Amino acid sequence: MSQNADSNSFPAGRPVVFRNATVLTIDPSTGIVENGDVLVVNDRIAAVGQHLSAPDNVVEIDASGGILMPGMVDTHRHMWQTALRGFGADWTLTNYFQFYYLNWGKIFRPEDIYAGNLLSAIEAVDAGVTTTVDWSHGLQTVEYADAAVDALEAVPGRFVLAYGNLLGAPWQWTKAPEFADFIRRRIDGHGDRLGMQLAFDVTGDPAFPEKAAFEVAREYNLPVTTHAGVWGATNDNGIRLMYEHGFMTPSTIYVHAATLSQDSYQRIAATGGHASVSSESEQNAGQGYPPTWQLRRHNIPVSLSMDTSVWWSADLFSAMRSTLSADRAREHREAHRRNETVMLSHLRAEQVVTWATLGGASALGMDKLIGSITPGKKADLVLIKNDQSPVMFPLLHPYGHVVFQAGRGDVHTVMVDGKVVKHNHRLLGIDLNAARQAVAKTVEYARSRMGEQAWNESMNPAKAVVELIDNPYTYTKKEQAAQQGSAEASQD
Ligand SMILES: [Zn+2]
């Protein structure tokens, strides 16, 4: 391919072959293929191997020096919040709840949901996240949900709308006739690029009001995704109620699952559910310690997620790296408590790359369709290649390279459903300017609606005060004077 590819470089209907990559198939029967080719015909992976023969009209992508892997899958992202990217960088979970749940969630309009989703969807595809669960809990009415789906349909990625409303009661909004109508209009029969889940949290209220929402999920055959084991918000009571009423199923996704008892983890494992671990989120916001070190022992399958760009990045390189780091940090800490040294790491780079791809696909019940480079599966592929970067060689440990060396800037080519949507580091046929303008309007609106003072105070919460502890080795006059706040000390 030429350097200046555009959407016309990959005409519809022409097969595409990636040549000479280090192919991480994430298919246990194939593993890594060195100097590998992957042939895509229509929307499917047709063949994987070395020196593949290809049809005469094939379009070739030179993948030499690069790593070709399945598209990544994010199982929990509040896409609408991308409209305020980075706003909450210094938040705690309490700041977040105050901002969205108590004060400002209600001011967002359907066009703001559209703006955030549009930018987030483009960002996902650009970073090689070919499937994203839009944990969309800002849907105050069905009009908002229409806006959310309009944005997802405007971007050539694969999405699952996890329908939610943080300002409403799930046992009410799931019962509305317009909700059933929405499913018929926007989801049913729309193919495998747009799925749906129900997104709501279980408070642990002994009356279990969420029962009615679970029944709606069952009626429409929709998986439920729920923030579970979030310190101070959701706990073992929610899991117990779900279990006792028979609503824990293999399609249920437990987001964070960071502060649960052994009993709750065992209920999840026994009913076949999946976890969605957002390590960067758990470490910053305070839902609990990233739980992979616990989930491993309970044999609970893991998928990865980024949660929200109001705080964090939205690329799964960060998710893989922070997950691996958090898991190993915990292992060392637990061992040091016993006065022991960790001799072998449990969690390997290969495992987190698998969680970021096949793990996500399995959590969504889509592992027959996507998640590995296997002939017959849909062609959702990411080529990590950057000839201008000093980081792309030597390429010795490909899984480690993905996790600790590469970043989103190294995503060279992205294919979704057999269609090249990014090539040579440029998005193809995607209108980033439309997202830029829509988001600018939302920022302008939210800022003026909140007022300058609330805007600034929300973005910059008061700092916690550092309490210095006494230091017996403080003995110089200068240090003593500095502690007493003497101005003369600095003039020594
Ligand atoms: Zn979340």
Q: For residue 117, report the distance from its CA to the centre of ligand 1, in Å.
A: 15
Report the separation in Å between the CA atom of 28 and the middle of ligand 1, taken as the mean of its atom positions.
31
Mean pLDDT of 146-175: 97
Radius of gyration of the chain (CA): 24
pLDDT of 4 reads 54
Please, which pLDDT band fits residue 412 given cuts at 50, 70 and 90? very high
**Å from CA of 270 to ligand 1 middle:** 24
Ligand 1 centroid–CA 57 distance in Å is 45
Q: How far is the CA of 225 from the centre of ligand 1 (A)?
A: 10
pLDDT higher than 90, residue 319: yes
Q: What are the residues facing 381 on neighbouring strands?
A: 70, 415
The pLDDT assigned to 7 comes to 64
**Residue 489 predicted with pLDDT over 80:** no
Please compute, for residue 131, the number of CA atoms within 13 A of its CA located in the half-sphere on the CB side. Answer: 35
pLDDT of residue 136 exceeding 60? yes
| CA 76 to ligand 1 center in whole angstroms | 6
Mean pLDDT over 384-406 rounds to 97
Which token pair is 43?
């929307």
Q: How far is the CA of 222 from the centre of ligand 1 (A)?
A: 19
Encoded tokens for 401: 């390279």
**CA proximity to 132, closest of 144, 148, 145, 143:** 148
pTM greater than 0.85: yes
Distance between Cα 263 and ligand 1 center (Å): 23
Phi/psi of residue 287, nearest 5 degrees: -70, -20
How far is CA 130 from each of CA 145, 359, 416, rounded to the nearest angstrom? 21, 14, 6
The Å distance, Cα 137 to ligand 1 centre, comes to 9
Cα 276 to ligand 1 centroid, rounded to whole Å: 10
491 or 140: which leads in pLDDT = 140
What are the pLDDT digits (tens) for 280-305?
999 999 999 999 999 999 999 999 99
What is the whole-number distance in angstroms between the Cα of residue 281 and the centre of ligand 1?
Answer: 8
Count of beta carbons in the 10 Å neighbourhood of residue 327: 24
Q: How far is the CA of 399 from the centre of ligand 1 (A)?
A: 27
> How far is it, in rounded angstroms, from Cα 255 to Cα 439?
27
State the distance from the centre of ligand 1 to the C-alpha of 154, rounded, in angstroms. Answer: 24
Provide the pLDDT for residue 475. 65
C-alpha 65 – ligand 1 centre gap (Å): 36
Percent of the chain residues topping a pLDDT of 90: 91
Contact in structure between 171 and 213 (CB atoms under 8 Å): yes
Asked if pLDDT for residue 490 goes beyond 50, the answer is no
Residue 474: pLDDT over 80: no
Q: How far, in Å, from the CA of 102 to the mean position of ligand 1?
A: 16
Which long-range CB contacts under 8 A does 341-344 form with residues at least 24 apart?
none
Q: 197 C-alpha vs ligand 1 centroid, how far in Å?
A: 14
Quote the CA–CA distance of 168 and 278 in Å, as a whole number.
Answer: 25
Cα 147 to ligand 1 centroid, rounded to whole Å: 20
* Amino acid of residue 487: A
| Centre of ligand 1 from the C-alpha of residue 308, in Å | 7
What distance in angstroms lies between residue 319's CA and the mean position of ligand 1's atoms? Answer: 14
Side chain identity at residue 71, one-letter code: G
Cα angle 205-209-215, degrees, rounded to a multiple of 5 = 135
**Quick one: the chain helix, strand, coil %, rounded to 5?**
40, 20, 40
Is pLDDT at 476 greater than 80 in this prediction?
Answer: no
pLDDT tens digits, one per residue of 225-265: 999 999 999 999 999 999 999 999 999 999 999 999 999 99
Does the pLDDT at position 8 exceed 80? Answer: no
Cα torsion 296, 301, 304, 308 to 10°: value is: -100
Please tell me the number of Cα atoms within 13 Å of 321 on its side-chain side.
Answer: 14
Give pLDDT tens digits for 44-96. 999 999 999 999 999 999 999 999 999 999 999 999 999 999 999 999 999 99
Whether the pLDDT of residue 2 is over 50: the answer is no
Tokens of 130: 């070919």
* Residues 45, 274 contacting (CB under 8 angstroms): no
Residue 121 CA to ligand 1 center (angstroms) comes to 17
Distance 77 CA to ligand 1 centre (A): 7
CA 227 to centroid of ligand 1, rounded, Å: 7
Q: Label residues 264-277 b or e (16+ Cβ within 10 Å = b).
A: bbbbbeebebbbbb
pLDDT band at 471 (very low <50, low <70, confident <90, very high): confident
Q: Tell me how far the alpha carbon of residue 66 lies from the centroid of ligand 1, in angstroms.
A: 33
Distance 143 CA to ligand 1 centre (A): 22
**Cα 78 to ligand 1 centre (Å):** 6
Is cis: bond before 394, omega within 30 of 0?
Answer: yes
CA 183 to ligand 1 centroid distance, Å: 23
Q: Alpha-carbon distance 321 to 324, whole Å? A: 5
**Alpha helix (H) ranges present in 202-348?**
211-220, 236-244, 262-271, 279-285, 292-298, 316-337
Q: Which amino acid is at 187?
A: I
Higher pLDDT, 468 or 173: 173
What integer pLDDT is reported at residue 485 of this predicted model? Answer: 65
pLDDT for the residue 469: 84
Determine the distance separating the centroid of ligand 1 and the alpha carbon of 305, expressed in angstroms. Answer: 9
pLDDT of residue 177: 96
Give 181 Cα–ligand 1 centroid separation in angstroms. 26
Amino acid symbol at 360:
G
Interval between CA 96 and ligand 1 midpoint (Å) = 11
Flag the least confident range among 229-238, 242-251, 339-348, 469-478: 469-478
Average pLDDT in the chain: 95
| 199 CA → ligand 1 middle, Å | 10
- Judged against a pLDDT cut of 50, whether residue 446 lies above it is answered with yes
Q: What percentage of the chain reaches a pLDDT higher than 70?
A: 95
Whole-number Å distance, alpha carbon 359 to ligand 1 midpoint, is 18
Residue 402 clears pLDDT 70, i.e. is over it: yes
Count helices and strands in the chain by DSSP H and E runs: 17, 17
- Residue by residue, what is the 3-state secondary structure of 307-335? ECCCCCCCCHHHHHHHHHHHHHHHHHHHH
- Find the 423 Cα to ligand 1 centroid distance in Å: 31
Give exposure, 30-49, as e/b (b: 16+ Cβ within 10 Å): beebeebbbbbbebebbebe
- 122-135 tens-digit pLDDT: 999 999 999 999 99
